[in-house]
Amino acid sequence: MSDLLLVDIQNRIGIITINRPEKRNALNPELVVALTTAFKELQSNENVKVIILKAAGEAFSAGADLAYLQQLQSFSYDDNLKDSSLLKNLFSLLHVYEKPVIAQVEGHAIAGGCGLVTLCDIVFSVPEAKFGYTEVKIGFVPALVAGFLVRKVGVGRTRELVLSGDLISAEKANEYGLVNFIASRDEIESEVLLYAEKMAENTSAEAIKTTKNLLSFISDLAVGEGLELAARVNATARLSADCQKGIAAFLNKENPKW
């Protein structure tokens, strides 16, 4: 595993820590590839049910680093397309990821860093963190995150965020639906761990996988098509071993052991 990341597993929780504090955890191709690899490995690990994504140091991620931006000045179209595909692959993986991903944001999440937050299922933030898609302020286009952000916060909020490039507070990010929970710096780690442990203990991994898969596709369908898909998914899920186990436990007034 790359030294750009720290990966730990405890109590069926996989913890990925971005480890470039001296660069404010800025993204570069090596880090994006390392993140993609880490998420793939944890997805295939049967001992992991929930993922926590966090970062070392003061920032969650400050977007692209200066050395990387300097390199981009000499890139051709083909170079840029190949490079963009790295982040596209990471975002695509997270969009259809089979396990819940919780972001633990203890510092600013900017540009590509905010894109990472956008792709997480649940987001905890400290009150001091700022969020923003600042690409337009340096002539970039927040293209890769746009489609996911629209699904998360709606067209109006997306336009506001990506066209202004402004940073917003954790409180406003919570109001917009980008952040789920706000916790103090002293408490965020314990609150995230508690949330992840409850999810690992109280939910069926198979049901989570199926539900996440449904959510990934249903927003692209018309209401009728979405309902048809949901009915088929529901019918299939009822035949699963996890569903049979859960129903049996419920009828016996027991808690299923997941």
Q: Please state which architecture CATH assigns to domain 5-200.
A: Alpha-Beta Complex (3.90)
Q: How large a percentage of the chain has pLDDT more than 90?
A: 67
183-187 mean pLDDT: 98
6-31 mean pLDDT: 95
Burial class of residue 192, CB neighbours in 10 A (0-12, 13-18, 19+): buried
Tens of pLDDT, residues 105-160: 999 999 999 999 999 999 999 999 999 999 999 888 888 999 999 999 999 999 99
Measure the CA–CA gap between 245 and 200, rounded to whole angstroms. 16
Q: What is the pLDDT of residue 1?
A: 59
Q: What is the pLDDT of residue 245?
A: 80
If pLDDT is split at 50, 70 and 90, which confidence band does 29 have? very high
Q: What pTM did the predictor assign?
A: 0.91
Q: Which residues are catalytic?
A: 135
Q: What is the pLDDT of residue 67?
A: 79
Mean pLDDT, the chain, rounded, equals: 91
Measure the CA–CA gap between 78 and 8, rounded to whole angstroms. 36
Cβ–Cβ under 8 Å, residues 110 and 122:
no
Q: What is the pLDDT of residue 248?
A: 79
- Is it the case that residue 17 has pLDDT exceeding 90? yes
Measure the CA–CA gap between 108 and 49, rounded to whole angstroms. 27
Tens of pLDDT, residues 70-104: 887 888 989 888 888 999 999 999 999 999 999 99
**Candidate from 129-143, 172-186, 236-250 with smallest mean pLDDT:** 236-250
182-194 mean pLDDT: 98
Q: How far is CA 104 from CA 60, 221, 234, in A?
A: 8, 31, 32
So where are the chain's domains? 5-200, 204-251
- The larger pLDDT score, comparing residue 233 to residue 23, is at 23
The angle that helices 143-153 and 77-95 make with each other, rounded to 10 degrees, is 30
